[in-house]
Structure 1
Amino acid sequence: MKVNVTREEFEAFDRATIRGSIEGIAAGLAISIPASLAAQRYLPAYRALPLSLKALGAVLVVGPAWAIQTERRGVEFDEEHNWKGVSRQLLDNAKAREASEWDSLSTKDRFSKWVARHQYKVILGSWAAGMAVAGTIIMRDRHQSTSQKIVQARMWAQGLTIGVLIAAGVLTHSQREDAAKHHAVDHSWREILEAEMREAESRKVQ
């Protein structure tokens, strides 16, 4: 892994993240715009929503897609250009061990581990899905005015936000407890030094 980064490498990394941003925004719009058009056509409750709430729905899709794809392209660039030689070998070995451990897990353990890895995606997705369901139910009520429905939607949003914060706290606490039970010391620096020494000795012999 490189520590000193040249201007050219930094600009290349910047281009990779910009590419990821464009891909994420495009993917988010590709999902949110057709969904919004379909809801506008087939759901009278959605047509009654103000434009600001419709725009918020698109932002809730585009924002996470943008952030996730930008980070993904940055990580891919770092692994491809900066992890070389011994560091690359250790990274590949770690991925192989992780894949082997994943294959040995049961379905329940896989689900738990997947949720732990993607807890923020799961939490945000649950919040967005809950808001969509609540909004649909509220907007179908013909006995309330639009302003009353908006107030109820805002109350649901506040309640779901509190629930999301509680869920995030529970997941974080459980992860800390699990990490404390299975505490492992990181010896990757030692493995790198040993591998570099073996490589240097091999070059001397040759």
Structure 2
Amino acid sequence: MAEAPTPSKIESARKWIVDHKLRAVGSLWLTGIGSSIAYNWSRPHMKTSVKLIHARMHAQALTLAAIAGSGLVEYYDKEYGSSGPKVDRYTRQYVAHSHKD
């Protein structure tokens, strides 16, 4: 009996990102704004308002990059293979538990 090959770390990460796009973008955004605030706070010659503006701009740029990356992952997944239809997974639970009035 042959065992299924274990997926690589990159393949596992790609699958997680495909399944949790919003969580991945949100995590990237929080990490980006946190590190940007930490970096800007280490620069004492800037006003607080300028530090916050710079942190927000960095976070927006990271968010756009994450959304573009998510779009590329979605395109790659659609073009070169998918883990199965995601819509059916959610519709089956409602069809199986439909209540008749």
1:167 is the counterpart of 2:69: yes
Q: Which residue of 1 aligns with 2:53?
A: 151
Q: Which residue of 2 aligns with 1:61?
A: none
Higher helix share: 1
Determine the C-alpha separation between the residues in 2 that align with 1:115 and 1:161. Answer: 15
Q: Is the 8 A contact 2:33 2:56 kept in 1?
A: no
Structure 2: runs of 5+ lacking an equivalent: 86-101
Q: Deviation string for 1:2-61 (max 9, x for gaps)?
A: xxxxxxxxxxxxxxxxxxxxxxxxxxxxxxxxxxxxxxxxxxxxxxxxxxxxxxxxxxxx
Which structure has more RCO (C-alpha within 8 Å, separation ≥ 6)? 2
After TM superposition, the score normalised by the length of structure 1 is: 0.35
Determine the C-alpha separation between the residues in 2 that align with 1:173 and 1:148. Answer: 37
Q: Is the 8 A contact 1:134 1:153 kept in 2?
A: yes
After TM superposition, the score normalised by the length of structure 2 is: 0.64
Determine the C-alpha separation between the residues in 1 that align with 2:64 and 2:72. Answer: 12
1:104 is the counterpart of 2:8: no
Determine the C-alpha separation between the residues in 1 that align with 2:14 and 2:49. Answer: 41
Matches within 5 A, 1:40-119: 104-108=5-9, 109-119=11-21
Identity of aligned residues (%): 24
Question: How far has the Cα of 1:137 moved from its partner?
Answer: 0.5
Determine the C-alpha separation between the residues in 1 that align with 2:29 and 2:50. Answer: 21
Query: Residues 165 and 115 of structure 1: is their aligned pair in 2 closer, same or farther, counting only changes over 3 Å?
Result: closer
* Largest Rg, 1 or 2: 1
Q: Which residue of 2 aligns with 1:54?
A: none
Q: Name the count of aligned residue pairs.
A: 82
Runs of 4+ in 1 over 4 A off after TM superposition: none
RMSD: 2.7
Q: Is the 8 A contact 2:25 2:63 kept in 1?
A: no
